[in-house]
């Protein structure tokens, strides 16, 4: 196999966000579990107590004026459940309050008593660097993506790249459509449009789609993931469980965390050096932005770690979310927009974790299992059994770590590789190959 693309089974509990399935009528549910009930005969929603004698209550079904139309069944279903639980809170609260707490004749009678004038406070600008400001800046550039395919349907999120509708998302969001499915994009202003796929890259789990017949969109501002520091604030925006325009915040918990979430048809690992964050990310956030507090997109929300290793019970956020660094994928995004096949850097070797001689786990480093003749790894003197421990300043802790590190470079980049050979340490400076059929290296 070309490139350090094969890894051991180190993905237990790490799942990528497959699009959420369409909900049922009585239960808000998807591929990732039940998130709310709507059956008002359930013990969760006991009948209201009988009212005390008094004037007839206001009809509970009276719709309050000015109610905004609901955009989708999924979001509306969750809102309905929350109103049933919350009682008089929110839309329809007045009717509920009247039903449960009968008033008196004086509640609605007009009087001559003067009342204080209520003056609305003027809207103030959000403080610089606040989550509120980031939300105001980034929300217009985030979309919900509904995908329907031959086998399933679901939804994810996306990032607007251009005013004419080029949108960045995850490959695993749009691959559901297959060759005969459909994709529809919903924008922050409530409008929507069909979309088609411009390009996909399973190895970085990215894709670019084109919304049809749109203009005047607000492109996101792309930042620098290389400038991130552990502990700084970040904001995630997307459509978790179909709830579009959801904003959550947290910090950068770690950088360059090797995350492996599967492989392509050739067995090459989908592994990237992830940004780890505790911002709440859930299924449906896939493809949405992770932004810094300047409102710049620094990552693409793509996977989480769960408390279960079950493939069917993937669960939700436990504060361990992972985003693909934007620096690593923008060159690939440019290739997809141009209609080119994405390319990736490679060493031309296959690796595995290092077995500990004591049999109690794995040692640090990635052990070479196979070297492709004529590759840059072969030219550098790498041989089967060698253990790679460092690439430039990056410590290599295992096979996934090496794959993720190499994926952060581009074909033709020059790196220094440190490895153990014959019981001693060696270094080699080499130019990385490309996995394109014709390489430039």
Catalytic residue among 205, 327, 353, 435: 205
pLDDT band at 284 (very low <50, low <70, confident <90, very high): very high
- Residues 237, 323 within the same domain: yes
pLDDT of residue 265: 73
The secondary structure element, H or E, covering residue 418 is strand 414-421
Give tens-digit pLDDT for 242-275: 999 999 999 999 999 999 888 777 778 889 999 9
Tell whether 328 is covered by a domain: yes
How much is the CA Rg of the chain, to the nearest whole Å?
A: 26
Tell whether 216 is covered by a domain: no
Boundary (domain end) residue, out of 289, 314, 335 = 335
- Residues 174, 241 within the same domain: no
**pLDDT over 70 percentage in the chain:** 67
| String of DSSP letters for 24-84 | -SSEE--TT---EE--TTSTTSPPPPPPPSSSPPPPTTPPPTTPPPPS-HHHHHHHHHHHH
pLDDT (average), residues 86-105: 28
Instruction: Please confirm, yes or no, whether 400 is among the known catalytic residues.
Output: no
For residue 58, is pLDDT > 80? no
For residue 176, is pLDDT > 70? yes
Burial (0-12, 13-18, 19+ Cβ within 10 Å), 194: middle
pLDDT of residue 361: 52
pLDDT of residue 259: 92
- Residues 317, 369 within the same domain: no
Please tell me the distance from the alpha carbon of residue 91 to that of residue 170, in angstroms, as a whole number.
Answer: 35
pLDDT of residue 269: 82
Encoded tokens for 389: 């421990």
Give tens-digit pLDDT for 128-149: 889 999 999 999 999 999 999 9
Contact (CB, 8 A) for 387 and 396: no
Q: Taking every pair of C-alpha atoms in the chain, what is the biggest distance, in angstroms? A: 98
- Residues 371, 394 within the same domain: yes
3-state secondary structure of 379: helix
pLDDT (average), residues 160-179: 95
Tell whether 119 is covered by a domain: no
Tell whether 123 is covered by a domain: no
Whichever domain contains 376, its CATH number is 2.30.42.10
Give me the domain span that covers residue 45.
27-105
Whichever domain contains 201, its CATH number is 2.40.10.10
| String of DSSP letters for 135-155 | HHHHGGGEEEEEEE-SS-EEE
| String of DSSP letters for 289-322 | EEEETTS-EEEEEEEEE-S---SS-----SS-EE
Which of 191-200, 214-223, 243-252, 263-272 has the least mean pLDDT?
Answer: 263-272
Boundary (domain end) residue, out of 105, 123, 153 = 105
For residue 440, is pLDDT > 50? no
82 phi/psi in degrees, rounded to 5: -65, -35
Encoded tokens for 80: 């309905």
Tell whether 203 is covered by a domain: yes
- Residues 270, 368 within the same domain: no
pLDDT of residue 355: 78
CA distance readout (Å), 88 to 37, 84, 372: 18, 9, 68
**Between 27 and 161, whose confidence is greater?**
161
**Between 76 and 190, whose confidence is greater?**
190
Where b means 16+ CB within 10 Å and e means fewer, 383-420 reads eeebbbbbbeebebbbbbbbbbbbbbbebeeebebbbb
Boundary (domain end) residue, out of 157, 186, 211 = 211
Tell whether 418 is covered by a domain: yes
pLDDT (average), residues 70-95: 28
Contact (CB, 8 A) for 367 and 6: no
Contact (CB, 8 A) for 303 and 14: yes
Encoded tokens for 16: 């990528």
Tell whether 121 is covered by a domain: no
Tell whether 349 is covered by a domain: yes
Catalytic residue among 32, 77, 141, 172: 172
Instruction: Please confirm, yes or no, whether 205 is among the known catalytic residues.
Output: yes
Q: In this structure, how many other beta carbons lie within 10 angstroms of the beta carbon of residue 359?
A: 6
pLDDT band at 300 (very low <50, low <70, confident <90, very high): very high
The secondary structure element, H or E, covering residue 350 is strand 349-355
- Residues 329, 356 within the same domain: no
pLDDT (average), residues 176-202: 94
Please tell me the distance from the alpha carbon of residue 205 to that of residue 322, in angstroms, as a whole number.
Answer: 12
CA distance readout (Å), 130 to 56, 219, 250, 264, 384: 48, 20, 12, 40, 52
pLDDT (average), residues 222-227: 97
Contacts 24+ apart (CB under 8 A), 176-179: 176/18, 176/19, 176/147, 176/148, 176/149, 176/151, 176/152, 177/147, 177/148, 177/149, 178/149, 178/150, 178/151
- Residues 50, 79 within the same domain: yes
401 phi/psi in degrees, rounded to 5: -60, -40
Minimal CA–CA distance to 169: which of 370, 306, 329? 329
Which of 109-123, 208-222, 281-295 has the least mean pLDDT?
Answer: 109-123
pLDDT of residue 234: 98
pLDDT of residue 73: 27
How many folded domains does the chain comprise? 4
- Residues 160, 239 within the same domain: no
pLDDT of residue 422: 87
pLDDT of residue 122: 53
- Residues 402, 365 within the same domain: yes
In the numeric block, the tokens 């203009």 are attached to 215
Counted residue by residue, the chain has a size of 441
Average per-residue pLDDT for the chain: 76
Q: In this structure, how many other beta carbons lie within 10 angstroms of the beta carbon of residue 220?
A: 25
Contact (CB, 8 A) for 201 and 304: no
Please tell me the distance from the alpha carbon of residue 220 to that of residue 166, in angstroms, as a whole number.
Answer: 11
Catalytic residue among 155, 245, 269, 286: 286
Give tens-digit pLDDT for 409-439: 999 999 999 999 988 999 999 999 999 853 3
């Amino acid at each position: 196999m070309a490139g350090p693309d094969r890894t051991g089974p180190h993905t237990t509990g790490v799942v990528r966000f497959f699009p959420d399935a369409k909900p049922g009528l009585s239960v808000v549910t998807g591929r990732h579990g039940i998130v709310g009930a709507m059956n008002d005969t359930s013990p969760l929603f006991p009948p209201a107590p009988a009212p005390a004698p008094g004037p007839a209550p206001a009809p509970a079904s009276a719709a309050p004026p000015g109610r905004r139309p609901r955009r989708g069944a999924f979001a509306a279903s969750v809102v309905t459940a929350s109103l049933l639980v919350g009682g008089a809170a929110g839309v329809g609260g007045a009717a509920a309050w009247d039903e449960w707490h009968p008033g008196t004749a004086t509640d609605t009678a007009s009087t001559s008593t003067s009342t204080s004038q209520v003056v609305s406070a003027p809207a103030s600008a959000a403080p610089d660097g606040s989550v509120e400001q980031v939300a105001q800046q980034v929300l217009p550039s985030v979309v919900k993506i509904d995908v329907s395919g031959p086998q399933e349907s679901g939804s994810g999120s996306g990032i607007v790249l251009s005013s004419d509708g080029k949108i960045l998302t995850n490959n695993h969001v749009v691959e559901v459509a297959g060759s005969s499915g459909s994709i529809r994009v919903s924008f922050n202003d409530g409008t929507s449009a069909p979309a088609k796929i411009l390009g996909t890259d399973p190895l970085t789990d990215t894709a670019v789609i084109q919304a049809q017949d749109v203009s005047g969109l607000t492109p996101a501002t792309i930042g620098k993931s290389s400038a991130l520091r552990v502990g700084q604030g970040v904001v995630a925006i997307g459509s978790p469980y179909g709830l579009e325009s959801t904003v959550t915040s947290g910090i950068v918990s770690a950088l360059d965390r090797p995350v492996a979430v599967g492989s392509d048809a050739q067995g090459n690992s989908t592994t990237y050096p992830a940004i780890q964050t505790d911002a709440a990310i859930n299924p449906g956030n896939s493809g949405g932005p992770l932004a810094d507090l300047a409102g710049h997109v620094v990552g693409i929300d793509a996977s989480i770690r769960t408390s279960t290793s079950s493939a069917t019970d993937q669960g939700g956020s436990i504060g361990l979310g992972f985003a693909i660094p934007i620096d690593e994928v923008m060159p690939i995004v440019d290739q997809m927009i141009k209609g080119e096949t994405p390319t990736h850097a490679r060493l031309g070797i296959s690796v595995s974790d290092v077995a500990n001689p004591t049999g109690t786990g794995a040692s640090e480093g990635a052990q070479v299992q196979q070297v492709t003749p004529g590759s840059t790894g072969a030219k550098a003197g790498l041989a089967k059994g060698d253990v790679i421990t460092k690439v430039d300043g990056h410590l290599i802790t295992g096979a996934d770590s090496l794959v993720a590190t190499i994926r952060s470079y581009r074909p033709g980049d020059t790196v220094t590789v440190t490895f153990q050979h014959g019981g001693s340490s060696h270094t080699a400076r080499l130019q990385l190959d490309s996995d394109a059929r014709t390489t430039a290296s």
